[in-house]
C-alpha cells in the first residue's frame, strides 16, 4: 500500500528567534494576534521575543498557523486579507524566521500545508518565489504535488506544474503524484497529469500501478482515463499484478459495491479468472467473500468461472452455497450454467450434497417468479426425492 501518513496539526517542529535557552511562552498571544490579523501586535510580540533572545514556543512552524488562518477564509476574505498576509510573512522573514523551507519534524513545509487547501494558486506562487523549492519533500518523501493530487485540488496542481514541479517524482514508498491522483474523488487530475507526462506504468513499493490505486478507491473515472492511455503502450497493463498477485479487478471486487470500476476494468480487457498469488482466489471468489451482490452478478453475467478452486480447494459455487446467498437474480444467472454437481469442496462434499434439502434457496427463487406451477412443485417438495440442484433445474425447465 501507499504511504498513508497524513499531515496533521500535531506535526512537531520548532521556530525560534535565537538559540537562547531562556524561554517565555508567547505562543498564545501570537496565535490570538494572527486570528485577529493584528499586525501591530504581531510586530510587538516578535520584537519583544527577539530583544529578550527568547523562542516563541510552538510545537510546529509558526508560519503554518498564519497559512491555515489565511487558507480557511472564504475566497473573498482571502482577497481582502492578502496584503495583511504578505505583511505578516514579511515580518517573520525580517526577524530571521527560516520558515520558507523549514517545516515540522515531519518536514511538512508551509508549501505542503498550503496544498491541503483548494484554490491557493496565488499563495503557492508566493511561497515558491520566496524561496520554497517546488519539489521539497516531507519525511515520507511527498512533495506539494503529491499532496495537491491526493486532495483533488486541480488548480493547485496546475500552478505547481507551471512552477516546475516534477510530475514523476516519487515518495519513499515509490508512489508518484499519479498514484495519489488515482485515489482522489475528483478524476480530472488523473488525465491532467497524464497529459503533462506522468508515467502510467510506474509501480510503487508494493508493485502497484496507478490503476491498482484507482481500483482500491473505487475511482472508475480515473481507471478509465488511465486505461484509455495504455491500450497501445501495454495490452496487458489492465492485468498487471501487484506483489501479492492481485490485479486491479481483484482489488475492485472487494471495494466496488457499485460495480462501476469493475465494469470499467472488464470493458478494457481485465481477465475474469486470474488467480492471485496469496490464496489462489479469482475476483469472483473475492466478491462472494464480501457479499457484494451486484459485483457477483456482473461477474457472472460476464462469464466468470464458478468452478475454479482456490488454494484450499474452494470454488465460487461452494462459497455461494455456504454463505446462503438468497438472491434470485444471482441464482437465475447460475441456472444458465452447467453446474458441476459432483465438484467436491474442501470437506469432500459435492455441490449436490451441499445443497441437499436447501429448499430455503429454492423457495426464494420460486416465490419471486410468482408462478403457480412453481408453487405447486414447491408444495410437494417434502415428499419428493429432489435435492436442490435437481429441483431448481426442473423449475428452470418448467419455466421454459
What digits encode the pLDDT tens for the residues 13-32? 334 333 344 455 566 788 88
Is the residue at 296 inside a domain?
no
Is the residue at 158 inside a domain?
yes
CATH number for 102: 1.25.40.20
What pLDDT, on a 0 to 100 scale, did the predictor assign at position 175? 99
- The C-alpha atoms of residue 265 and residue 272 are separated, in whole angstroms, by 10
Domain housing 47: 1-166
71: nearest Cα among 164, 151, 131, 139: 151
What pLDDT, on a 0 to 100 scale, did the predictor assign at position 10? 40
Write out residues in the chain with pLDDT < 70, as ranges. 1-27, 53-61, 96-105, 231-235, 257, 357, 359-400
Which grid cell sits at 69?
Answer: 488562518
Is the residue at 21 inside a domain?
yes
Is the residue at 71 inside a domain?
yes
Phi, psi of 131 (to 5 degrees): 120, 0
Q: Model pTM?
A: 0.81
What pLDDT, on a 0 to 100 scale, did the predictor assign at position 198? 97
| pLDDT tens string 175-231 | 999 999 999 988 799 999 999 999 999 999 999 999 999 999 999 999 999 999 986
What pLDDT, on a 0 to 100 scale, did the predictor assign at position 351? 81
Is the residue at 144 inside a domain?
yes
What pLDDT, on a 0 to 100 scale, did the predictor assign at position 18? 35
- The C-alpha atoms of residue 337 and residue 347 are separated, in whole angstroms, by 23
Residue 29 burial (CB count, 10 A) = 16
Is the residue at 147 inside a domain?
yes
Query: What is the residue-wise DSSP string for 90-142?
Result: HHHHHTT---SS---TT---HHHHHTTSSS-HHHHHHHHHTT--TT---TTS-
What pLDDT, on a 0 to 100 scale, did the predictor assign at position 15? 40
Amino acid at each position: 500500500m501507499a504511504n498513508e501518513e497524513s499531515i496533521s496539526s500535531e506535526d512537531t517542529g520548532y521556530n525560534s528567534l535565537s538559540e537562547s535557552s531562556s524561554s517565555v511562552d508567547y505562543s498564545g498571544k501570537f496565535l490570538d494576534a494572527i486570528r485577529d490579523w493584528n499586525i501591530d501586535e504581531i510586530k510587538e510580540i516578535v520584537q519583544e521575543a527577539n530583544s529578550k533572545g527568547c523562542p516563541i514556543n510552538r510545537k510546529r512552524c509558526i508560519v503554518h498557523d498564519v497559512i491555515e488562518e489565511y487558507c480557511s477564509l472564504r475566497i473573498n476574505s482571502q482577497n481582502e486579507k492578502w496584503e495583511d498576509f504578505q505583511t505578516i510573512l514579511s515580518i517573520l522573514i525580517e526577524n530571521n524566521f527560516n520558515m520558507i523551507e523549514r517545516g515540522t519534524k515531519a518536514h511538512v513545509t508551509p508549501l505542503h500545508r498550503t496544498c491541503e487547501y483548494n484554490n491557493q494558486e496565488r499563495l503557492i506562487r508566493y511561497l515558491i518565489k520566496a524561496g520554497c523549492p517546488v519539489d521539497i519533500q516531507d519525511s515520507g518523501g511527498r512533495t506539494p504535488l503529491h499532496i495537491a493530487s491526493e486532495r483533488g485540488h486541480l488548480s493547485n496542481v496546475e500552478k505547481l506544474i507551471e512552477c516546475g514541479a516534477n510530475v514523476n517524482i516519487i515518495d519513499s514508498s515509490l508512489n508518484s503524484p499519479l498514484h495519489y491522483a488515482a485515489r482522489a474523488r475528483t478524476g480530472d487530475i488523473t488525465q491532467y497529469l497524464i497529459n503533462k507526462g506522468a508515467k502510467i506504468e510506474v509501480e510503487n513499493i508494493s508493485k502497484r500501478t496507478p490503476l491498482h490505486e484507482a481500483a482500491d478507491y473505487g475511482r472508475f473515472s480515473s481507471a478509465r482515463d488511465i486505461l484509455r492511455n495504455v491500450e497501445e503502450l501495454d495490452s496487458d497493463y489492465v492485468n498487471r499484478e501487484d506483489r501479492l498477485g492481485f490485479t486491479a479487478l481483484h482489488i475492485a471486487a472487494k471495494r466496488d459495491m457499485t460495480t462501476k470500476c469493475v465494469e470499467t476494468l472488464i470493458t478494457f480487457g481485465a481477465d475474469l479468472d486470474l488467480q492471485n498469488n496469496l490464496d489462489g482466489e479469482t475476483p469472483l471468489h473475492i466478491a462472494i467473500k464480501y457479499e457484494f451482490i451486484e459485483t457477483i452478478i456482473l461477474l457472472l453475467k460476464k462469464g466468470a468461472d464458478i468452478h475454479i478452486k482456490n488454494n484450499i480447494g474452494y470454488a465460487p459455487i461452494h462459497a455461494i452455497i455456504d454463505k446462503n446467498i438468497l438472491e434470485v437474480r444471482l441464482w437465475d444467472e447460475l441456472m444458465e450454467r452447467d453446474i458441476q454437481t459432483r465438484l467436491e469442496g474442501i470437506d469432500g462434499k459435492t455441490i449436490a450434497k451441499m445443497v441437499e434439502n436447501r429448499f430455503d434457496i429454492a423457495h426464494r427463487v420460486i416465490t419471486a417468479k410468482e408462478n403457480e406451477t412453481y408453487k405447486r412443485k414447491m408444495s410437494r417438495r417434502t415428499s419428493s426425492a429432489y435435492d436442490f440442484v435437481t429441483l431448481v433445474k426442473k423449475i428452470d425447465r418448467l419455466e421454459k
